[in-house]
A and B are shown apart, each in its own frame.
Chain A
Amino acid sequence: MKHLKRLLLSLVVLVLAVGCAPAKEETEQVLRIAKDNDVSSLDTNVATDGLSFEVIKTFTEGLMEYDADGNIVPGVALDYEVSADGTVYTFNLRDDAKWSNGDPVTAADFVFSWRRLVDPALATEYSYMAEGIMIKNATAVIKGEKPLTELGVAALDATTFQVTLDAAVPYFIQLMTFPVFHPLNEAFVTAKGDAYAKSADALLSNGPWVVTEWTEGTKIRVEKNDTYWNADEISLDAIEFLIIKDYQTAALQFENGEVDMAKISADLVDRYKDEDFFETKKLGYTWYVAPNQLVAELQNENLRLALATSFDKSFITESILHDGSNVADYIVPIGLATGPDGKDFRDGAETFLSFDAAKALEYWNAAKAELGVETLTLELLVDDAADTKAVSEFLQTEWQTNLPGLTVTIQVQPKKNRLQLMRDGTYQLGLTRWGPDYADPFTYLGDLFQTGVNYNYGRFSDAEYDALVQSTAPGGALSTDAAARWAALHEAEAILLEQAGILPTWQSGEAMLVNPDVSGYEFHVVGQPSYRNVVKK
């Protein structure tokens, strides 16, 4: 009797289990992507993080877009003209571009969006981009010194949009693919007020898809937008961004066929590295250790050189990360920018500060003699992410082993705190990275290491370097001579690294699992991935 009861009970449980278990049927093409992060905002001007931009790109379109080969082609714009001095851009917009509510996309929509971006009342984080591309009066408008109407943008007529810059910016056109410069429908945004972009129905689309579902902490679903001018070319019916924070869970869901694309962490690479659905790609991030030159000892060049050359970078990329990342004996990453000669910036370029324990020891002995010390203790500041923690432990051991007498302690902080400490200059060695905003070496060499710039955490300062970099800046002496500019940028990199102003470590990669039935996924080293040409069998 007892056994019978137990048997019945387990049967009931089993039936319940089977009955409730997922049973899905799909007739439409839906791409399901696991994401380790949630979007922080779907407001074109307000968003700051990668996933937010990625999602925004699915339902909006800018003046320019990337094509399948990574070339920049017109999007909402049909074509454009540049003035001879490179400071006035006039875009002719296509007249068949529409918002998902039927309104046409006009030049006024761009003017509204760009003014909103620099509006001091909104105080958007990415307003600095408007300054970066030197839009006329951008700085004054952001500071509130001039009215929004003074910003150098104008709608000459419904389909002609004109931008006036203070100086020629070599990468201006490329930045027109960047989501913060995408148009906004003024009537819609104003009508929604504070609620704009806070939920799926408070969003308007002018891109290939339209947001239909946005569930807090769970998923975002975009569905094909029939009003999109190029809708015929889009084959995916929907894309679902599923927020799965744990890589392991995402990987298992991939194995179960519940997601089509999943990023995985270094811990999981061993399990999948031989599978045909395993892929790695190179990202445009270079990780480096910034030695803080406010610390007296770190002003010593030999010490910096010793630190820079005494750790085996290949162990980091091959064993700790093994996700397609690359040993970085440079700062401007591979694949970031193509020069006037049609070659990648790194192609044939010099490398610096390669791992060489013997040489490092020489530097170290010289440094000890110059500093008059036998032992030294330094603190390494890192993020609390799993990968960076492991790397920091590796750096610690390598430094302590290869540079006898050196003691390295590790301080781990959440990323925000780490950035704060580095910005304040209250650290010694800091492991950090930079994500490029535009495909030009200037995003590294100009934005990071000039004397006094905001992100120069280590307070690197070199007059010759500054002069070179400034000549390559928008409006600088070389801004119109592409070949000379390129040479100057190479030279600047050499100056920075020959004195180990920073300690380049690795260029990021990313390991992914991708359903073999999915093709046409486009990934860009700078900018967001594109799903426009994705086909799912």
Chain B
Amino acid sequence: MTKFIAKRILLSLATLFVILFILFLLLQFMPGSPFNDEKLTAAQQAVLMAKYGLDKPFFIRFWIYLQNVVLRGDFGISYAIKKDMLVSGIVIARLGTSVRIGLQALLLGVSLGVLFGVISGSKRNTWMDSMATVAAVIGVSIPSYVLALVLSFVLGYKFRIFSITYQVDQPLWSSILPTIALSFFVMAQTTRFLRTELIEVLASDYVKLVDAKGVARPKVILRHGLRNAMISVITILGPLTVNLMTGSLVVERVYGIPGIGSLLVEGIQVNDYNVIIMIAFVYSALYIFVNLIVDILYGVIDPRIRVAKGG
């Protein structure tokens, strides 16, 4: 088991390294320079490039960068968004908000998804099942930003129930709409997945046996069906995280949330290299971390996976 985990961690680290390299490489091809104020002369641009070491050869720059990242957690300074400030400082100041809203959405989405999934899977082919299924298809189909627009338009603007933007002094209250917008997909995906799983588990021989023993139906579903079905729900946490990240980019924009998603979009607009690299890296790291946890959890729960994956 330890060997399996160690191997997964090593692989994750290797992937992260490659990602960092690719990001760094890709940015070399980005058009434009971060020092491109209308009023900069070519000579000044050269001075600034030299000041930030951007005139050095690629590999030397990458080496310096890598050292800074690994040893000091320093992803360089921002060139445009917050002049001369450490990117890590800016990103960390915003990371909390993004992660919190993401987790809120995950929690809400998974809870509702489990609820609908259980209803739908255990009362198959009833009107409740149909409703849940339809809701789930809609949930995976409607892009989160469309949902965000609709919510802010209807609840924020037309009926003025919720604040239309995120407000720092009311972090929970004003994050309700973005949470709902983000959680919809999670909810839908969990419902769909759990439904299929539950149907399969409930059809399995051992559940039939429990059933035959005369155990009450809800108990069968909860104790035996759900517990087994939930294990496999863990596997979709990875894809769900990715979706939350993508969603956060646009949802943060719609609600003006000072998170890392909106910062990435801004960094792209003003060519703030270091900001782009760090956020892309943080996204990748989050994703890889979630996948790692899922793998390990799954390996712990279900030894067959470990064997199959060659650990």
Direct contact of A and B (CB under 8 A): yes
In B158-217, the 8 Å CB interface with A consists of 160-165, 167-168, 170, 172-173
A246-B253, A416-B32 in contact; A123/B51 too (CB < 8 A)?
A: yes
* A125 and B38 contacting across the interface, CB-CB below 8 Å: no
Instruction: Point out the residues of chain A lying under 8 angstroms from B163, CB to CB.
Output: 22
Of all chain B residues, the one with the shortest Cβ separation from A17 is B161
Query: When chains A and B are docked, how far (Å) is the Cα of A40 from the Cα of B266?
Result: 12
* B262 and A125 contacting across the interface, CB-CB below 8 Å: no
Stretch from A41-49, A156-164, A294-302, A527-535 that touches the partner = A41-49
Cβ contact of A416, chosen from B33, B167, B266, cutoff 8 A: B33
Query: When chains A and B are docked, how far (Å) is the Cα of A40 from the Cα of B37?
Result: 13
Query: When chains A and B are docked, how far (Å) is the Cα of A405 from the Cα of B33?
Result: 36
In A122-142, the 8 Å CB interface with B consists of 123, 125-128
Instruction: Point out the residues of chain A lying under 8 angstroms from B164, CB to CB.
Output: 249, 252-253
Of all chain A residues, the one with the shortest Cβ separation from B49 is A123
Least CB distance, A132 to chain B, in whole angstroms: 10
Query: When chains A and B are docked, how far (Å) is the Cα of A263 from the Cα of B47?
Result: 35
Cβ of B36 under 8 Å from chain A:
yes
Instruction: Point out the residues of chain B lying under 8 angstroms from A41, CB to CB.
Output: 82-84
Of all chain B residues, the one with the shortest Cβ separation from A39 is B82
* B269 and A414 contacting across the interface, CB-CB below 8 Å: yes
Instruction: Point out the residues of chain B lying under 8 angstroms from A455, CB to CB.
Output: 38-39
Cβ of B157 under 8 Å from chain A:
yes
Query: When chains A and B are docked, how far (Å) is the Cα of A256 from the Cα of B159?
Result: 12
Query: When chains A and B are docked, how far (Å) is the Cα of A38 from the Cα of B262?
Result: 12
Cβ of A437 under 8 Å from chain B:
yes
* B38 and A434 contacting across the interface, CB-CB below 8 Å: yes
Least CB distance, B84 to chain A, in whole angstroms: 7
* B31 and A413 contacting across the interface, CB-CB below 8 Å: yes
Most buried by A among B32, B93, B161: B32
A123-B44, A454-B42 in contact; A40/B268 too (CB < 8 A)?
A: no
Instruction: Point out the residues of chain B lying under 8 angstroms from A127, CB to CB.
Output: 44
Cβ of A425 under 8 Å from chain B:
no
* A416 and B168 contacting across the interface, CB-CB below 8 Å: no
Instruction: Point out the residues of chain A lying under 8 angstroms from B253, CB to CB.
Output: 245-246
Cβ contact of A420, chosen from B36, B41, B173, B269, cutoff 8 A: B36
Report B260-271 CB contacts with A as 1/0, cut-off 8 Å. 001100101111
Instruction: Point out the residues of chain B lying under 8 angstroms from A38, CB to CB.
Output: 81-82, 266
Of all chain B residues, the one with the shortest Cβ separation from A20 is B173
A43-B83, A120-B47, A244-B256 in contact; A48/B165 too (CB < 8 A)?
A: no
Cβ contact of B31, chosen from A48, A219, A417, cutoff 8 A: A417
**Interface range on chain B: under 10, 10 to 19, 20 to 34, or 35 or more?**
35 or more
Cβ of A170 under 8 Å from chain B:
no
Query: When chains A and B are docked, how far (Å) is the Cα of A20 from the Cα of B41?
Result: 52
* A22 and B170 contacting across the interface, CB-CB below 8 Å: yes
Cβ of B1 under 8 Å from chain A:
no
Cβ contact of A414, chosen from B32, B40, B82, B256, cutoff 8 A: B32
A interface residues, how many (CB within 8 angstroms) = 48
Least CB distance, B45 to chain A, in whole angstroms: 9
* A245 and B256 contacting across the interface, CB-CB below 8 Å: yes
In A147-193, the 8 Å CB interface with B consists of none
Of all chain A residues, the one with the shortest Cβ separation from B83 is A41
Query: When chains A and B are docked, how far (Å) is the Cα of A517 from the Cα of B242?
Result: 47
Cβ contact of B93, chosen from A123, A216, A219, A421, cutoff 8 A: A216
Instruction: Point out the residues of chain B lying under 8 angstroms from A337, CB to CB.
Output: none
Cβ contact of B258, chosen from A143, A217, A252, cutoff 8 A: A217
* B84 and A43 contacting across the interface, CB-CB below 8 Å: yes
Cβ of A84 under 8 Å from chain B:
no
Cβ of A495 under 8 Å from chain B:
no
Cβ of A215 under 8 Å from chain B:
yes
Report A407-424 CB contacts with B as 1/0, cut-off 8 Å. 000000111110111010
Least CB distance, A96 to chain B, in whole angstroms: 33
Least CB distance, B40 to chain A, in whole angstroms: 6
Query: When chains A and B are docked, how far (Å) is the Cα of A18 from the Cα of B12?
Result: 46
Cβ contact of A40, chosen from B36, B50, B82, B258, cutoff 8 A: B82
Instruction: Point out the residues of chain A lying under 8 angstroms from B170, CB to CB.
Output: 20, 22
* A48 and B44 contacting across the interface, CB-CB below 8 Å: no
Report A222-258 CB contacts with B as 1/0, cut-off 8 Å. 0000000000000000000001111001001100100
Instruction: Point out the residues of chain B lying under 8 angstroms from A434, CB to CB.
Output: 38
Cβ of A435 under 8 Å from chain B:
yes
Query: When chains A and B are docked, how far (Å) is the Cα of A432 from the Cα of B162?
Result: 40
Query: When chains A and B are docked, how far (Å) is the Cα of A434 from the Cα of B39?
Result: 9
Instruction: Point out the residues of chain A lying under 8 angstroms from B34, CB to CB.
Output: 416
* B83 and A40 contacting across the interface, CB-CB below 8 Å: yes
Query: When chains A and B are docked, how far (Å) is the Cα of A126 from the Cα of B44?
Result: 9
Query: When chains A and B are docked, how far (Å) is the Cα of A420 from the Cα of B40?
Result: 11
In A1-46, the 8 Å CB interface with B consists of 17, 20-22, 38, 40-41, 43, 46
A41-B83, A414-B269 in contact; A253/B48 too (CB < 8 A)?
A: no
Query: When chains A and B are docked, how far (Å) is the Cα of A252 from the Cα of B156?
Result: 9
Instruction: Point out the residues of chain A lying under 8 angstroms from B94, CB to CB.
Output: 216-217
* A125 and B44 contacting across the interface, CB-CB below 8 Å: yes
Cβ contact of A128, chosen from B32, B39, B51, B269, cutoff 8 A: B39
Least CB distance, B205 to chain A, in whole angstroms: 36
* B168 and A219 contacting across the interface, CB-CB below 8 Å: yes
* A217 and B32 contacting across the interface, CB-CB below 8 Å: no
Instruction: Point out the residues of chain A lying under 8 angstroms from B81, CB to CB.
Output: 38, 40
* A128 and B44 contacting across the interface, CB-CB below 8 Å: yes
Cβ of A101 under 8 Å from chain B:
no
Cβ of B24 under 8 Å from chain A:
no
In B48-94, the 8 Å CB interface with A consists of 48, 50-51, 80-85, 90, 93-94
* A125 and B33 contacting across the interface, CB-CB below 8 Å: no
Cβ of A198 under 8 Å from chain B:
yes
Instruction: Point out the residues of chain B lying under 8 angstroms from A437, CB to CB.
Output: 39
* B93 and A417 contacting across the interface, CB-CB below 8 Å: no
* B258 and A218 contacting across the interface, CB-CB below 8 Å: yes
Cβ of B145 under 8 Å from chain A:
no
* B38 and A244 contacting across the interface, CB-CB below 8 Å: no
Least CB distance, A442 to chain B, in whole angstroms: 14
Cβ of B116 under 8 Å from chain A:
no
Query: When chains A and B are docked, how far (Å) is the Cα of A47 from the Cα of B36?
Result: 14
* B80 and A414 contacting across the interface, CB-CB below 8 Å: no
6 CB contacts below 8 A, A to B, read: A22-B167, A40-B83, A143-B43, A198-B85, A384-B269, A419-B36
What are the 4 tightest A-B residue pairs by CB atom distance, in nearest-first order?
A217-B258, A417-B32, A41-B83, A20-B173
Please give 20 more A-B residue pairs, beta carbons under 8 A apart, in addition to A21-B173, A244-B256.
A20-B170, A20-B173, A22-B163, A22-B170, A41-B82, A125-B48, A128-B44, A143-B43, A198-B85, A215-B258, A217-B258, A243-B258, A245-B262, A246-B254, A252-B157, A414-B270, A416-B271, A419-B32, A419-B38, A421-B31
